[in-house]
Structure 1
Amino acid sequence: MQIIDSIKQNVLDNKYQDSLSIANAHYNIGELYRYSVLGDSAYYHYHKAEKIYKNLKKNLSIAKTLYGIAVIQKNEKDLTGSEITSIEAISLLGLLNETNEVRKYKAFIYNNLGLVFRQLEQYDESVSYYKKAIELKKKLKGNNLRTINNSKNNLALSYKNAGNYKLALNYYNQLLNGDDLKKERRGVYALVLDNYAHTLYLSKHYEKLPKLYFQALRISDSIQENGYNSIIINQHLAEYFNYKNDKKSAKYYAYKAKDIAEQYHNDDLLKSLLLLSEIEEGNVAAMYSKEYIKLNDSLQKNERSIRNKFARIRFETNQIEQENIRIAKERMWLLILSVVIVISSFLLYLVITQRNRNKELKFIQKQQETNEEIYNLMLSQNESIEEARTLEKRRISEELHDGVLGRLFGTRLSLDSLNMSNDAEAIKTRGQYIDELKIIEQDIRKVSHELNTNFVSGSGFIDIIKTFLETQTIAYKLGYKLEHDDTIHWDDVSNKTKIHIYRIIQESLHNIYKHASATQVNISFKLKNNVICLIMSDNGSGFDVNKVKSGIGLKNMNSRINEINGNINITSEKDAGTTVTIEAPIT
């Protein structure tokens, strides 16, 4: 700890003015804290070193620092974070020439990835990374047997957890038969021996058990004062004796494992509590089950707390703040550019839309002018017909008045002269003739007067509608009925309104023929409160008004009725026909 304080003091006193020296100092402090199992402090200094190395573009140093961070994240169960950091480090090393140091750290990082995926229980990926680590370690300069054996032990453990006991036993035999573990690393040898024995247990080969477990336990107890490595051996012994239904021995080793694990309050204690909940019975088993759940929740909260602390460390550095400022500026420019693009696109859309609208308005205007011209021609033609009718009526009236009435008047005078006779029968007969002639005279005068009077004003428009209906219904094979209110003075109605009504009737008939499969259409004109009410109904197939999409015909009808400030309503039912109701004010 004095070395750590000395290095920190050097950093705080700004004795290392050179950026690389400062970064190296932070890295060294991080390394010392990592091996002292002070994860959050190590993470802080690694993170400081990483930022300076990145500014200096020291990719190898960055990768080494990231490896240290990844190991801490793995130890604190931030497995996803450790995986991401490891991949980032591997990517940086991939950009460098394959030196011995680059190869060494690649091997270390692959081994860490193997540990991460083993804890994630993704054993295929774990095995793949361990093999990559072993291959790289074999290529390193010098004697690397120890680090190779470490990866082989990890590989064998992944095979064991994956249920591939044959391969696991093969690697454990290689390790146990080598001199490295037997002579120089007795503690590791005891753990390998225990794992070998446990693999035999899992593969149901009990011949050498529990002898191998006891051998591993004796070695572990002989070289370690605190007995930490014996926790898992005692757990395996408890598991074995519980399987053999030797409850007394099982409880003995389970409690022994728990007593040692309580000094560390970690996953080993969690496993001991779970084991006791399986070995014990009744309330005791329930008690250990509750303790297991409580400790598991506590460890998870602690892991989350550490991960959150790591996140805070990253965001509390000045380098991150500067990076955030740079990103904010980029985002601001991106936002400005996006706004400019959106506004430009909107303006372009408005220009295009307005042009299309102008074209549409010009087309509508031209269509209206054409309609006006057509209707005026129709009215002119109808006026010529009406003028001919009026002349013919006047001729007939004059002929009736000057011819027939003159003759009848002379006859009446002759009969009056015969009235001199005093014969009662003659007088009576003559009187009857005279009265009858008077009646005829009155009737003829009435007819003459009516013939000389013009038709109801505006009847020409109804004639146009009737002529159109007669022509179209024959073509469409429809029966029709037309009713109209004589109180409507069509001369007071603007040509624009009459044209639109005519076109709406035309469009409606076309829709009936095209879609309705109708045989009869009824049309009526009524006047209500100075509003012309046109009702068109058919006996066709009908449709769902809410579901059908508005076609061009319906859009045109709506457009026309809007032009004359009217209203349109369409009601329809399946197999019950369709009714179109239009209301158009006269003024």
Structure 2
Amino acid sequence: MIPYRMRIFLFIIFTFFSLQSCQKKTSNTPKPKNTKPEIEEAILTADRFYSQKEFDSAFFYYNKLRSICNPVTDSENYITSLNRMAEIQQDHADYTGSENTIKEVLPYLKYAKKQSQIWSTYVILSINYLNTYDYKNAILYNQKALRLQTEEWRKLAARNNIAVILMEEGKYNEALQIFLSLTTKKEVLNNDEFQNKALDNIGFCYFKTHNPNEALLYFNKSLEIRQRKNRPFDLGKSYLHFAKFYEKSNSALAKEYMLLSYEKFTAANSVEDRMSSLELLIKNTSDQELRKYATKYVNIVDSIFEVRQKVKNQFARIKYDSKREREENLKLKSQKIENELQIERQENRNIISYIIILVALSLVVILYFYLTSRANRQKIEATYQSETRISKKLHDELANDVYHTMAFIENKNLSIAKNRENLLKNLRDIYSLTSDISKENCPLVANKNYAASLNEMISEFNNSETNILTKGLDTILWSEIKKNKKVAVYRTIQELLVNMKKHSSATSVLITFKKTNKNILIIYVDNGKGIDANQVLTKNGLNNIENRIFAINGSIDIDSFPDKGFKVFIKFPIIR
């Protein structure tokens, strides 16, 4: 059988852990979504469309990839997607849109693990600045690309770009020195495309710096490589430079090169360069031919403007729709997070409430255990004191009387009437003392029969030698008085009567009871021997009386002198 206290304690522990279990169940949050499969699918789809030159679809999926990737933890895919998007916009002459796209990368380049990605970002940005005539920034970003720890061919490409920008600024001598240095590098000599571009640009710089012989030499070297590779765009570039070279010295030959360049740029579908060829033809023709080339030029301008505008709008719409969708998702996520925070705050308040309840219950249990334990200790202590006092009385009083009686029987002749009377008197005294001790230790009646019990106890001390009177006992409503006070009164009067019988030889005793508005007064008077009031505290009986009265917030006053009787005035409050 589990003790009652232990059952309470186990119940509290069970309640606490049940609450904790419920709390854990409600506090489970969903795991972050795994976006890796979605990212891999977007990369494959975007790269496939890019390789097939379906740039609108490629742009869409690269933009989707950009929105899925975390720019910090997945910087590689994030930077790649934006670089490709900017390249597509750049190829469609949307240089401002390309610049805005590529600038989204810049804050996250510090997380890039591959220097080649940073190099691509800088080069794309520099080309945008070049085509929007911001030559200073175009050179700046190529210089940044040069400082990166990348392959040698990337460094050479950045230097080549700087030289091209210098050509656009008209700084042909500076550009020429860079191009000449490039032609000594094995990476350039081993790459026909790189080499023929460098040679063609060197020839153009010599042409612009009025060195026609050198210009023609390098033009021919470049053309020889390009004719061998037979790439329309590269051939168109060489023919265009030959047309400009012969424009003033041999107009017929210049016109032939203009037409050849126009033909090659048309085959390469290079609209910008085809317009450059038409501009030269318009400038160097007249009459019907001028009208024909001008019409072609205007048609190309109109069509290219319409196409580019559509492409710009398409790319802008893709980015806008993605941005709006992302903002809506962020709004939904923020609402979800706010809801989760509110739930978490409520859960935290619940936890605090549970803790407060647990602490309160624990304090109640501890207080209950403490009070119960203290009551048990007090009960044990009271029992011990009572047993000690009874033992002392049995030893000091009853044992001595029994011993003297036994000695009297042994030494006296009981056939003599006087001796028999003394023996009977001694036996009555022993019986009376035994009765007193028994009554002192017995349970006290403190209910509605209290007055009768008190009166009965007093009457037992009344005999032929001592007359005891009570006054006002029945005038007090004892049911209004607390039990502990009634017990104290009972024991106090009993102690006074025991002392009177043992020590005072009184023949008359009067005990008066009075009630005032708030107090009970008890006056004890006998005509016995009396005592010295200065020695009252040394008497154990009177000391016990004082302790009982003080315990019920009462007061006691003793008035006695030797041979002048004994008086005790007792007062205690009814309520307090």
User: What's the TM-score once normalised by structure 2's chain length?
Assistant: 0.49
Q: What TM-score do you get using the length of structure 1 for normalisation?
A: 0.48
Q: Which has the larger radius of gyration?
A: 2
Q: Which has the higher contact order (CA 8 A, sep 6+)?
A: 2
